Structure 1
Amino acid sequence: MTAFTGKVVLITGGARGIGAEVARRLRARGAHLVLIDIDQPPLRELAAELGGDDHVVAVSADVRDLGAMEAAVARGIERFGGIDIVVANAGIASYGSVLGVDPAAFRRVIEVNLLGCFHTVRAALPSVIERRGYVLIVSSLAAYMAMPGMVAYDASKAGVEHFANALRLEVAHRGVDVGSAHMSWIDTPLVREGFADLPAVTRALAELPNPLRKTTSVHECAARFERGIARRARRINVPAWVGVLRWLKPLLQTPFAEREGGRTTPTMLPEIDAEVTRLGRSLSARTQALGED
């Protein structure tokens, strides 16, 4: 018996990256899974890998569609009887400054990352309340420290952190715990695609001091998620040093810190915008293609 034996875990963005690796770890510890993703082929492959219909309900759905999320949750409840744990993990990023980003891409990031989080929780929360369960909202280091050229991602991840804070207040008296996860660079498709598309970001990252430039493996990240979910953590920071930035946030927003931290922005940001112009898109090619299906 483990903390997850017989529990039903719903994970959005479950086909790749952090979502997929968390799914593997929790299935190995006895959980049943409701996996939701817009990308059907890897979702089907993962569901088969993890035991198929006996243990996994795989639903191709867009988190921007509340009706689709409600239908996905209903399928999970019908199959397994309820939802104990929600991991609102689906997320994308866009490229470019406020003046350089494609407005449609900006809107899509906000809709997937923030509105999608609301839809996920709204659909699953009645069952989670019934089972006195746990909700994990996947935010980012970006909620603690903004980065130029990632304005939509920064705004959405700060938004979902505060969404988690408000939700925690709303459901604590009903026996439900709520946490938020905050990660630095994780070796996921989202991060790899961004580095490949934007050499300026890779160069800027190389100039940052350790540990800010280090990329963490998805396996280590998922292991931290597993431990945090098991103890119904209020916050999961990956790596652990990311948590320090939460306490430093007021200092990071002082004029002095912003001036020092922004010394490379006058050269880096035009390079990013020029690269976005050459690409002809503000999203990774994979993310853009998924939105056109």
Structure 2
Amino acid sequence: MSESRFTDRVVVVTGGGSGIGAATVDRFGREGATVISVGRSEDKLKRAAAEAAAGSTVVPRVTDVSDEAAVNALIASVVEDFGRLDVLVNNAAIAVPGTVEQLDTASWRQVFDADVDGVFFASRAALPHLRRVGGCIVNVGSVSGLGADWGMAAYNSAKGAVVNLTNAMALDHARDGVRVNAVHPSLTRTSVASFVTDNAEMLGAFEERIAMGRAAEPSEVASVIAFLASEDASFVNGAHIPVDGGLRASSGQPRMF
């Protein structure tokens, strides 16, 4: 791992207080970036910042990404305080289970507010600043946006929207010098996924389907995010990288031999 790919770079990571977001904050910090870690819980943000690698520059900022005015103010303040913005990682998201029949309107809107509107608001605010420096956006989608799950209609729909929003931005802004890509994790060992990872039977069902036979670690997703944000990916635009241990390599049929 290069220790200096992001020296003098300013990176905003939404949902930075835990899980993939916290691992991404840590990864960019280790590689020399000034990282603005964004989330709704000040306690989580401060705890994650304290756990980042020694010598890292991590700045917690409490912001609800579904609040348009707050996101605009956040991006403006980052540029004012640090003089630039090089990378935006749209990671913040929530999930509410339920089929279309089971979901109420408030739950449907709550998921789209965080998972889709948050990406739109942050990207729109960031783009003028990213354009000035040839920066990039990395969206954290999900394999659940590339295909559906039982009982997750809102989350599947929202993450599916992130897939095509990534495509649209990759087309619209590439000639302005801004690359836009996405990573799509499968089961990852985070607190949000603990209802799976702490349930031996459910975890076993996932491990049976994932070719590598295990869940991802948050740091493994963060490393792909960092690659997409780096000059190592300078001609990668509009890409969707599953970080799924081979889950999507399957035809979907059960193991026969």
Partners of 1:221 and 1:239 within 8 A in 2: no
Per-residue deviation, 1:216: 1.2
Could you tell me which residue of structure 1 aligns to residue 17 of structure 2?
15
Higher helix share: 1
Matches within 5 A, 1:247-286: none
Alignment partners' CA distance in 1, 2:13 and 2:19: 12
Number of paired residues? 246
SS of 2:84's equivalent?
A: coil
The structure-2 alpha-carbon separation of the partners of 1:210 and 1:56, relative to structure 1 and needing over 3 Å to count, comes to closer
Matches within 5 A, 1:120-139: 120-139=122-141
Q: Which has the larger radius of gyration?
A: 1
Could you tell me which residue of structure 1 aligns to residue 214 of structure 2?
214
Pair 1:235-2:244 in alignment: no
Could you tell me which residue of structure 1 aligns to residue 60 of structure 2?
58
Partners of 1:57 and 1:75 within 8 A in 2: no
Partners of 1:216 and 1:239 within 8 A in 2: yes
Per-residue deviation, 1:237: 2.1
More deviation, 98-107/115-124: 98-107
Per-residue deviation, 1:95: 1.3
Could you tell me which residue of structure 2 aligns to residue 5 of structure 1?
7
- Stretches of structure 2 lacking an aligned partner (at least 5 in a row): none
Match of 1:112 among 88, 111, 114: 114
Match of 1:177 among 176, 179, 182: 179
SS of 2:209's equivalent?
A: coil
Per-residue deviation, 1:159: 0.2
Alignment partners' CA distance in 1, 2:9 and 2:203: 44
Partners of 1:182 and 1:242 within 8 A in 2: no
Q: CA RMSD in A?
A: 2.8
Alignment partners' CA distance in 2, 1:219 and 1:207: 19
Alignment partners' CA distance in 2, 1:5 and 1:118: 27
Alignment partners' CA distance in 1, 2:220 and 2:58: 23
- Letter of the 2:244 counterpart: P
SS of 1:189's equivalent?
A: coil
- Stretches of structure 1 lacking an aligned partner (at least 5 in a row): 249-256, 262-293
Quote the sequence identity (%). Answer: 30
Q: TM-score, normalised by structure 1?
A: 0.75
More deviation, 42-51/166-175: 42-51
